[in-house]
Structure 1
Amino acid sequence: MADLAAYRAVLASRIRAQRSYRTSFVLDLASSLLVGFVELAEVWVVFHAVTELGGLDLAAVVLVFGLADLAFSLADLSFGHCDTLPTYLRAGTLDVFYLRPQPLLLQLITSDISLRRLARAVVGAAALGVGLAVNDVAWSLASVALIVLALVSGIATFAAMFVWAAGAQFYLIDGAEATNAFVYGGRYAATQPASVWSRPLVVVFGFFFPMAFTAYLPVVTLLGLPGPEWMPTWLGWCAPVAALWAWVLALLTWRAGVRHYQGGGG
């Protein structure tokens, strides 16, 4: 409990620091909210040209977008600053983390928190609410459990992606853009119907980085729609298994990276 209190104190100080500059804080929230609405508007623009995409209509795709975007935004709020690790590596300041009696990964996770990302979560929550309202959902205890399970598993999967990317930086150093292609590219892929992916994307974002399990497959299961031949409908219930695999991959990469690290050289 004493260790947890220390982490809470650090995060509380970060939050107070951001809120102390109110104008800047409001502008950050507004800009983040605008970006979220622009990305949601992309879905509306696409469906001005088509009536169906990968077997899903506009209402179903909004539900996919809302579930994926909310999960990613909440994971980004807590774990998104892990992508600052390359800065610590290049400056040699990561060595300071080793002097503290706390696990390195937990120190990195609690080193910062960006409240502006809450605005993105608002957009995702709004899209999720609208999607649940306009779709013909057969409400039951099982359907509610599926939504909660999918959301929690999606947050865990996206959080694991940030940890995986951080672990890979011990080898790449200046390769943040390479991992961003999978982290943020995976987030974009998760908001789209996986049924339109090519075979290489199915391998990468369907199973290796299980983005299809964060929103598309749970939505297909929730609405009782037929999934692609390589992703049957019942896989929507396997979102926790996908999250577990994502964390196994992330922690193995992190462990290998930490062992590879030899210090800042200073």
Structure 2
Amino acid sequence: MVRTYVLLLWTWTRAAASYPASFALMTLLGFAIAALDVAVILVIFANTTTLAGFTRDEVLFLYGAASVSFTLCDTFVSNIDRVSQHIRAGTLDTFLIRPVSAWIQLTTDRFNANRIGRVVQSGLVLGYAMTALDLDWRRTWMVPVMVVTGIVIFTSLWTMAGALQFALTDAPEVTSSFTYGSHQLSQYPLSIYARDLVAGVTYVLPLAFINWQPGLYVLGRDDPFGTPAFMRFLGPAAALVLALLAALAWRQGVRHYRSTGS
């Protein structure tokens, strides 16, 4: 399955690389667009020293951790949101009759390798923040766990959003609220949001485990909302539960799909 996934990615990458100038420009453009989010953070801290009690470098750390996970998923998984287009066009049947998982085919469909510029930008921000902060090296083991947990959570969100389109057929704004909206929310300390919203993204939709809860552990900070310390380590468990729910939702969506007959 992994080999098939890589081969499909390579096929689209080789096609894009046949136009090297365009490929390079689009990669640089993705890097620049992603940098605008950092520019917003820098503008905020040009007018204040802290944001909800967090310094600039701490906010950049939280942003970088969430963005590395998100941009990796945006690069390698996000094309699954094209499922509604295939349903309307009647081309989804083609994916279903092939001896390869429809999920793998859809995530690699029209793979755009130049999105890697966004991944590089996010990695640079995370690296800078970790260098600038006086982190306890004994806590930094949590950083790769954060990134992997975030990848699983964002992948699950994209999969659930894709599964939802089997019922809604044409609702791209709904899928964007699941995915891009979740990324926007996780870019900043959750302490800037209302307590009820934070409770919802902790105990219902576990977005707090992308970077907030584990990030508090890395930074050696208490949760302003008073959640117990053991919550900092529940990210992998929360990601696993969400992944299982996403897999179930996707399976149900595919099983209840009815061909257009075209």
TM-score (norm 2): 0.94
Deviation by residue 1:219-250 (Cα, 9 ceiling, x = unmatched):
21111111033534442221111211221231
Deviation at 1:184, TM superposition (A): 0.3
Shift in Å, 1:127: 0.8
Of residues 210, 217, 237, the one that matches 1:214 is 210
* Partner Cα distance (2:131, 2:4) in 1: 42
Report the RMSD for the aligned CA atoms in angstroms. 1.7
- Paired position in structure 1 for 2:109: 111
Q: Which residue of 1 aligns with 2:26?
A: 28
Query: Is 1:153–1:214's contact at 8 Å kept on the other side of the alignment?
Result: yes
Identity value in percent: 32
49, 54, 57: which is aligned to 1:59? Answer: 57
Equivalent AA in structure 2 for residue 194 of structure 1: L
Unaligned runs of 5+ in 2: none
Matches within 5 A, 1:1-266: 3-140=1-138, 143-266=139-262
Q: One-letter code of the match for 2:174?
A: A
CA distance in 2, matches of 1:21, 1:204: 46
Give the ranges of 4+ consecutive aligned residues of structure 1 lying more than 4 Å apart after TM superposition: none
How far is the alpha carbon of 1:178 from its aligned partner? Answer: 1.2
What SS does structure 1 have at the residue aligned with 2:112? coil
1:43-74 deviations in whole A, cap 9, x for unaligned? 11112232222221111000000101111111
Cα distance 1:91–1:200, how it changes in 2: closer, same or farther (>3 A)?
farther
Aligned residues: 262
Alignment partners' CA distance in 2, 1:68 and 1:162: 15
Alpha-carbon spacing, 1:85–1:200, altered in 2? closer, same or farther (3 Å): farther
1:143-180: CA deviations, max 9, x gaps? 23211111111111111111111111101111111121
- After TM superposition, the score normalised by the length of structure 1 is 0.92
Preserved contact between residue 64 and residue 122 of structure 2 (Cα < 8 Å)? yes
Query: Does the CA-based 8 Å contact 1:56-1:193 persist in structure 2?
Result: yes
